[in-house]
Amino acid sequence: MTQIEPGTEVNLTDGAVVQASVGTRWVPLSDESVVLDVLTDRVFRLNSTAAFIWELLQEPRRVGELHAAVATAYRIDETETRNATDDLLRQLLAESLIGTTAQGTGTWESTISKKE
Amino acid sequence: MTIVTLRVRITSDSAPTYFPTDRDDALAKLLVESRRRREALFAGLVLRLADTHPDVTARGDLGSCFEDFRQLPSDERSELAGHPVFALALQQFLRVDFDADDAVLVAEAASMTAAYRRARDAMRDRDVARIGRTELRRWDTDPLIIERAPPTYIFPPAAERERRAGEDIYTLERFAVIAEAALARIGDVWPQLRRWFDWLVRVIVQVPDAPYRSASAARYRGVVFLSSDDTTLMELEESLVHEFGHQILYEVMARSPLLVDGAAGTYRLPWSGARRDFYGYLHAFYIYLLLALYFERAARDAGHDAVEVRLLLGHIVGGLREARRDFVADGRFTEAGAGFISSLKKELDILEERLSEAPAPVA
């Protein structure tokens, strides 16, 4: 898996697997979640929808699986689900808060181990 | 430690003035956002300490304190996050060197925890003097505020504070009655301003021997110092609205700077003749515009002397007209600042138009 630079176009296929980086710590706070990136010492606030997805990302998830979970939880149409979910995943990737690997392209490797 | 918010962004063309008006909910959004940032910062710092020094977190009370914070109903947690004692403690905690010895970290965590509990107790304690929901303090002011207050006010040593607490002729209870009356009048004139006052001015420190009518500073925002120099209810109203305006600007500028670093110059304030740097001048311009809007409303209020109010309004608006030419959206302002000052000048234009159409008061 490669480190994603900000602004990089990422192809998030339904089969791609994403997961929270091991260098993140988080805690839910009402309808938000607070995520700490221990490497950069930056704190991220996730709104309720982002927090819902973040919680799912504590385990490896296929992008398609996330689309389905968001669609079910928020009862929104497929296009809106994809746009909202993929937009968040790109932001998380750009901030190295999650790592990704395409289906069948290799073993899981977190972004934090890549940085080290 | 920095905070990044990930969410869908909604942008607007017009820069808000943050005045508490019906047509503008920017102030509400600003305050909610400010408190949420503090909540996130507290969470981030606790997560950080737990990650690098789990033993320190386990030994102290910080973990249970944070859990208490997390479990609070969101409105109560937001109120606590807006408390100046919590904010000051958080500022200190933010400066902690996480590479320091465990003993230092334990002490810092204990200090944060103690301040958290004091802020929480102050919100709940029915024995604390208040005007509305704002705490009223004098010699019982929180140690963190006492520490940060100079040079605004230098408190006497603890023993003297204790002695003077029982000796003051002008008691806090007496001041509370007068301040309550002034705030009630503010509520009659501008109900939204009165409502937001509780959100922004969390602690009033009434110190009879201070060499000014009122004072505040960004470094301890949420706290206002008042002396006993206001001799009429209207003067006290003016001081309260004046300090309310400062608090708005502290919040605005904490979120995004309005001036570029090193915006220099010394200016004479048209209202008082006092000299200020450009930062102080901008504050004055904002506050006198807020006061003008306030007294425009007060002139229509039966409880106010319309002639007296209009005289004061004339003086304030005259100063605003004079000051306006100094506030050109030039290189001294950031992009946000340029939009902000443009909105303020538009507000002044509209006010002048309204005033020119208003009938003269009957003496």
The side-by-side arrangement of strands in the sheet containing A42-46 is: A24-29, A32-37, A42-46, B2-6
In a domain, A112, yes or no: no
| Mean pLDDT score of chain B | 92
Domain assignment present for residue A87? The answer is yes
pLDDT at site B22 = 67
CA dihedral A65, A69, A70, A75 (to 10 degrees): 130
Closest Cβ opposite residue A34 in set B2, B43, B51: B43
Model confidence at B13: pLDDT above 90: no
Tokens of B161: 């504070």
* pLDDT score of B225 more than 60: yes
Does residue A114 fall inside a structural domain? no
Is A116 part of a structural domain of the chain?
A: no
Write out pLDDT tens, residues B58-77: 777 999 999 999 999 999 99
The whole-angstrom separation of Cα B79 and Cα A97 is: 30
Q: Using one digit for the tens of pLDDT, what is the confidence trace for B136-169?
A: 999 999 999 999 999 999 999 999 988 888 788 8
For the question of whether the overall pTM of this predicted structure is more than 0.90, the answer is: no
Which ranges of B152-258 does DSSP label H, i.e. alpha helix? Answer: 158-165, 172-189, 191-200, 233-255
**Cα B93 to Cα B73, B109, B270, distances in angstroms:** 24, 8, 41
* Partner residue opposite A45 with nearest CB, options B1, B40, B47: B40
pLDDT at B146: 98
Query: pLDDT digits over B101-125, tens only?
Result: 999 999 999 999 999 999 999 999 8
Which amino acid makes up residue B309?
V
Task: Report the C-alpha gap between B27 and B21 in whole angstroms.
Answer: 9
Cβ–Cβ of A30/B51 closer than 8 Å?
no
Q: Band the pLDDT of B264: cuts 50, 70, 90.
A: confident
The sign one gets for the Cα dihedral B2, A1, A71, A7 is positive
* Residue A77 belongs to some domain of the structure: yes
pLDDT band at B362 (very low <50, low <70, confident <90, very high): low
CATH code: domain of residue A41: 3.90.930
Counting as low any pLDDT under 70, the low residues of chain A are 1-11, 102-116
**What percentage of chain B has pLDDT greater than the value 70?**
96
pLDDT the model gives residue A5: 54
d(CA B87, CA B79): 11
Neighbours of B239 (CB within 10 A): 21
Domain containing residue A60: 18-104
| Per-residue model confidence as pLDDT tens digits over B349-361 | 999 999 998 766 5
B48 touches A: beta carbon within 8 Å = yes
Residue to mutate among A43, A57, A74, with most B CBs inside 10 A, is A43
- Cβ of A36 and B48 within 8 Å? yes
Cβ separation B4–A36 shorter than 8 A: no
- Which of B14-18, B108-112, B326-330 has maximum average pLDDT? B108-112
User: Residue B226 forms beta bridges with which residues?
Assistant: B206, B214
| Residue A115 within a domain | no
Q: Give A15-34 as a DSSP string.
A: T-EEEE-TTEEEEEETTEEE
Residues 6+ apart with CB under 8 A from B256: B334, B336
Is residue A31 a part of any domain in this protein?
yes
- Contact status of B79 with chain A (Cβ, < 8 Å): no
**Out of A96-110, B249-263, B332-346, which region has the weakest mean confidence (pLDDT)?**
A96-110
Question: Is residue B65 within a helix (H) or strand (E), and if so which, with residue range?
Answer: helix B62-71
In this predicted structure, what is the pLDDT of residue B126?
A: 85
Contact, B143 vs B195, CB < 8 A? no
pLDDT at B55: 86
CA distance B306 to B297: 10
Domain boundaries, chain B: 25-125, 126-236, 256-356
Q: Complex ipTM above 0.90?
A: no
Tell me, what's the pLDDT at B119?
97
Mean per-residue pLDDT for B227-252? 94
Tally of structural domains, chain A? 1
Residue B152: CB atoms within 10 Å: 17
Query: In the Cβ-directed half-sphere of B98, how many Cα atoms lie within 13 Å?
Result: 16
- pLDDT higher than 50, residue B11: no
In contact, B267 and B324? CB cutoff 8 Å: no
